[in-house]
Amino acid sequence: MELKDSIRNKYKNYLLLERSLSANSIEAYMTDLDKLSGFLFSESISAENVKLDDLQQFVAQLYDLGIGARSVARIISGIKSFYGYLMLDGYIQTDPTELLETPKIGLKLPVVLSVDEINELMDIIDQSTKEGQRNRAILEVLYGCGLRISELVKIRFSDLAFDEGFIKVEGKGSKQRLVPVSPAAIREINSYLFYRREMTPKKGFEDILFLSNRATPISRITVFHYIKEYAEKAGIKKNISPHTFRHSFATHLLEGGANIRAIQMMLGHETITTTEIYTHMDREYLRQEIIEHHPRNKPR
């Protein structure tokens, strides 16, 4: 069975908007995905029903074709990324690549904004408009909470627990977690609510926090374009995306002295070997980590 074009196109957009990959990198990912698609077609297997054994057979065929270990590692990395996306968007419930072995290779360091660059980008936003106030709140939440853009666009009023200092987030595989929300983010959301309450959402979206000008949930690509626009106005030359704020969140907390395990839990990066540690960490401790160490919570 062939890989559905709709899934392929959505994955390509994911690589652009959330991974912020270059055109050449995206082309390489899609070429590797096409290799898998060809294998699935020959075996009459759908991408959603792939098992670990199928993937191991696919990798074996790569070696049989004489493809080198480094290239195989790159292809496997791309396949893992694809199935991570399928998990993120709810196409599958379990990741068949989790136990797929891959050669160890160096990782590309993500783009990170400095604290000054974050401040410059925030300050460039015109908060006298409803769009500007909404976008300021969006960027403050992305940076102040370390959320994925896919998590942010799904936030509902019912997910906000400001009295306790948390936002309920639905992450990869529909897993929910409580993320500490900074006072700065709370302040910007409350400012945005002045405009949000004046809007009449389209039916079915009444509980969605961040709405577009059409009164529907704001899209990932819209946020992506606003970030590019603000970065250009602020004179920031780095190739940034919504995910850059998540990387910056983690990096700045770590540089500020926050506990690495607390950061991983706030990001929702639970793994087989660390899940037990994370689930036993105290929620108030997590909240204090972000309050004490996040640069946006300090007087400017």
Residue with tokens 């009023």: 157
Q: DSSP class of residue 156? A: B
Q: Is 108 a catalytic residue?
A: no
Q: 236 with 122: CB under 8 angstroms?
A: no
Q: Is 172 a catalytic residue?
A: yes
With H, G, I as helix, E, B as strand and everything else as coil, classify residue 178. Answer: strand
Half-sphere exposure of 29 (CA within 13 A, CB side): 24
Residue with tokens 């389209």: 202
Q: Is 246 a catalytic residue?
A: yes
Cα separation, 167 vs 181, whole angstroms: 6
Q: Is 278 a catalytic residue?
A: yes
Q: Is 294 a catalytic residue?
A: no
Selecting among 175, 269, 283, 298, the annotated active-site residue is: 269
Selecting among 278, 287, 294, 296, the annotated active-site residue is: 278
With H, G, I as helix, E, B as strand and everything else as coil, classify residue 177. Answer: strand
Positive or negative torsion for Cα 200, 14, 142, 168 = positive
DSSP string, 188-240: HHHHHHHHHTT--PPTT-TTBSSB-TTSSBPPHHHHHHHHHHHHHHTT--S--
CA–CA distances in Å: residue 64 to residues 25, 57, 75, 201 = 25, 10, 15, 56
Selecting among 246, 247, 287, 296, the annotated active-site residue is: 246
Selecting among 74, 134, 136, 172, the annotated active-site residue is: 172
Selecting among 220, 243, 247, 293, the annotated active-site residue is: 243
Selecting among 74, 134, 136, 148, the annotated active-site residue is: 148
Cα separation, 37 vs 35, whole angstroms: 5
Q: Which residues are catalytic?
A: 148, 172, 243, 246, 269, 278
